[in-house]
Structure 1
């Protein structure tokens, strides 16, 4: 997809803890065109306040700028990316085919995704991913958590802030080289021994730079120590 993140049209289906965290991270990464849905449909400013919580409310002013209303089938029209953290089997071929050319479909509901990898590809997804280990492009939080906490602990971070989260994202992305990047490999394997050390180093560095670290360490030292811990297991 040859678009900057600010130009990409993204739909996030699911507005619970995972969905709202994904939306916040995307916004902080520079995404500007996001539609978020809960179980009742598209979320927008002016909707029934009894239906939303404080976290969702804070995101409404920054999402769905066109104030689109309706259901998932309406939200995905012309979208570039569809992310699901909702219910098994909820994505359909019709939805994928109504998206933009060469869409990205990430069905992250576990253990059964919103749409299987094979079905998403058959429906026209250029890149597909799920949370499952038996399909390409497994998007799983195990890629993130060990390294994030290792990096935060090593520098005795007062909290885990948005800079640290984004540093983890970019560290993971950087592990897939341009010459390796392909439709079936857009994210490193969850068992890749490079992941946790790279994430830990990036998170530690971001904590130091953003002023929440109590201890200043060379991020490379954090990487080496994390790799040694893994090797010793």
Structure 2
């Protein structure tokens, strides 16, 4: 028999791999360690005094350790970007990247924590056990519906902010974008008819935040069509969507939902045909956020919609979570908040939207590099905390 040639490995010769060589993070001391006196202060015997003080008053950890400014970025690698369930080791580059964004935009230190488990009970227990090291927990790339239960249970158990960015970071930036897009098309936010394609983590959170913002008419679609009480075998989170959305009682597929709609929000990774976008109301708004391939190409959407946004950086109006989470955690940590509330999320969205003083079709959210964003969000969040 002829031996089979070994399969070639991945091509790692490009500039992307060069940029990631050796990882993207390092630990840097904040105090000098140059002699025996420094050593005796920073480590033994001096450190024992600090340990004893914290044992007597645990709140002192926020002053005398890194805890106040450190967040754990936690994943199990089950829903990474658009790559799916690739596991914790393959997810590590994304978590490192998230940590870089935390530091660059919010001045928040963060540590990637990639856990080898898919069990909800084990994940909750593992995260709770490591929580004393951190001032906050940022859940990342955990698949739905498990992510809802994990976040809920951790919020009940811990006295530090627990935030699933795939849900709430996306929802905050979408709300900010719609606040300004509504101004561009001269409509009231509350009166918009919104269709969300995707009933996963982002879709559920967007629907909830929009409704809290006063948007009454929200319709959510999954791969089977419009989510409504008549659908069979609905998962728990979709059953809640069926009970709280679709006030006109629409039935059918995404095409039935989009007919006459003012807003399309795509967070599904699927595709939507141009002819369906064409049936939306005049001066419509399209936020096609699947990455790297939007549900409808922005050039195609622009033939029919007045305002178009994507998750990509090479088109106007990038809906990027980095507009929200660095400032959100900065404000929560600085204020000593025990949780991130719905009021804080609304305040963050409003702060982002207000940074665009005169919204246009080409600018409904500020640039991710606008240095005002994180401080503005942090102030708004801290004020509500």
Q: Smaller-chain TM-score range? A: 0.7 to 0.9
Per-residue CA distance 1:96-138 (angstroms, 9 max, x = gap):
110000100000111211112212112x110000000000000
Gaps of 5+ in 1: 208-233
CA distance in structure 1 between the aligned counterparts of 2:227 and 2:354, rounded to whole angstroms: 33
State the match for 1:76 in structure 2.
Answer: 258
Taking the aligned partners of 2:205 and 2:379, their CA distance within structure 1 comes to 22
Any residues of structure 2 matched to 1:4-23 within 5 Å, and which?
A: 4-23=188-207
Q: What SS class does the counterpart of residue 374 from structure 2 fall into?
A: helix
1:17-166 → structure 2 map (5 Å cutoff): 17-48=201-232, 50-53=233-236, 55-88=237-270, 90-122=271-303, 124-166=304-346
TM-score scaled to structure 1, two decimals?
A: 0.83
Greater than 4 Å deviation, 4+ residue runs: none
Aligned counterparts of 2:363 and 2:223: Cα–Cα separation in 1 = 31
Could you tell me how far apart the structure 1 residues matched to 2:331 and 2:238 are?
Answer: 29
TM-score (norm 2): 0.51
Deviation at 1:60, TM superposition (A): 2.1
The structural deviation recorded for 1:201 is 0.6
Aligned counterparts of 1:93 and 1:116: Cα–Cα separation in 2? 9
Q: What whole-Å deviation, never above 9, does each CA across 1:63-103 have from its counterpart, x for those lacking one? A: 11121111111100000000000024x12211111000010
Distance in 2 between residues matched to 1:146 and 1:23, nearest whole Å: 23
Gaps of 5+ in 2: 1-184
1:173 to 353, 375, 379: 353
| Corresponding pairs, count | 201
Higher-Rg structure is: 2
Q: Contact 2:196 / 2:218 at 8 angstroms: preserved in 1?
A: yes
**Pair 1:197 & 2:375 matched:** yes
Contact 2:227–2:241 (8 Å) recurs in 1: no
C-alpha deviation, 1:59, in angstroms: 2.7
Q: Is the 8 A contact 2:260 2:281 kept in 1?
A: yes
CA distance in 2, matches of 1:161, 1:60: 24
2: distance between equivalents of 1:158 and 1:21? 20
User: Hey, which of these two has a bigger chunk of helix by percent?
Assistant: 2
